Amino acid sequence: MRTRDWREPLVQRLIDAHSGQRPESIIEEHADKLRDASDQHALPVRPDLIASVHGIRRRTGPHDFAGRIYAEPNGQLVMDINDQDSEERQHFTEAHELIHPAFPNFAVERRYRLDATMDRHAENREEEYLCDLGAAALLMPAELVAEEYTVRGGLADVEELSRDAEVSIEAAANRVVTLADEPAVLLCLTLSHKPADAPALRKGHDVPMALRVRYAVSKHLNLYVPKFKSCDERSVFYRAAESFDIESSIDALPGVNGAGRFRIEAKRYGTGRLERVLAIARPTA
């Protein structure tokens, strides 16, 4: 994303305050400074300790949101975290909230992270997207992750990073692909309906669900994987959805024409509404 493509006023002010620097770089540097100030140079990084070092009052409770951070009238920063979320999701939410004060005029309004069931905000929600990026950089610093956990190591490396950094498998997969030094794609797929099914569902029709792309993240590749694109029932993605193991194949990506074939690893993670298939794909040529 080029600098002129950023639309949210807070993000534009962040860019202006740093002489036009890319906001992703600004946020990564901010995350590194937070971590360095609390002298954390190994995994797992403890966001609660970072909050303490920076004088942020941390509270937990059974909230109807994942987390929020705000400044009291006296300037005291307060972070509230939903203790009903898993420990991994609480860590990511804490790290996410720690990034918000990097934005100019932060103290004017409260920031809420409403739902911790997704570890990646869409890029059209710019401040939230950048705070997710910052949370990943805080919990999984490039200097500790980039050469130790790789797309070549596939989902085994992703699972190891999830354990070592105490983050969700989805957050770990996103970070591994984001830091990849070779072309790679992460796909997150769920059993769901497509938006066009909504009218029929409202009428009470029985519309079968399919395994569909929820989102895709690519590195060093110029391709577009359509959201909600369904997978072939014979594909490695469906095999993974019906298995407990890592499934492998050489195949095309769903909805991507002309991009060639990919070495794909896929596995089912989570349960209930959090169940999804994660896949790492690398081009064969």
Mean pLDDT of the chain: 92
Helix axes 9-17, 126-139, angle to 10 degrees: 50
DSSP of 156-212: HHHHHHHHHHT--HHHHHHHHHHT-SS-EEEEEEEEE--GGGHHHHHTT-----EEE
Which of 21-35, 72-86, 103-117 has the highest mean predicted lDDT (pLDDT)? Answer: 21-35
**Which of 61-75, 128-142, 147-161, 178-192 has the lowest average pLDDT?**
61-75
On the question of pLDDT at 107 being above 70, the answer is: no
How many percent of the chain have pLDDT more than 90?
84
- State mean pLDDT over 218-244: 95
**Which of 63-77, 114-128, 176-190 has the lowest average pLDDT?**
114-128
Contact indicator for 238, 232 with CB cutoff of 8 Å: yes
Residue 271, Cβ density class (10 Å: 0-12 exposed, 13-18 middle, ≥19 buried): exposed
pLDDT band for position 158 (50/70/90)? Answer: very high
- State mean pLDDT over 33-61: 96
Q: What is the pLDDT of residue 274?
A: 85
Q: What is the pLDDT of residue 123?
A: 56
Identity of the amino acid at 57: R
On the question of pLDDT at 3 being above 70, the answer is: no
- State mean pLDDT over 208-220: 96
On the question of pLDDT at 119 being above 50, the answer is: no
Q: What is the pLDDT of residue 258?
A: 87
pTM (two decimals): 0.90
Question: In the chain, what are the helix, strand and coil shares in percent, each to the nearest 5?
Answer: 40, 20, 40
- Domains in the chain: ranges and CATH: 3-139 (1.10.10.2910), 182-283 (3.30.450.130)
The token duo for 138 is: 């805080």
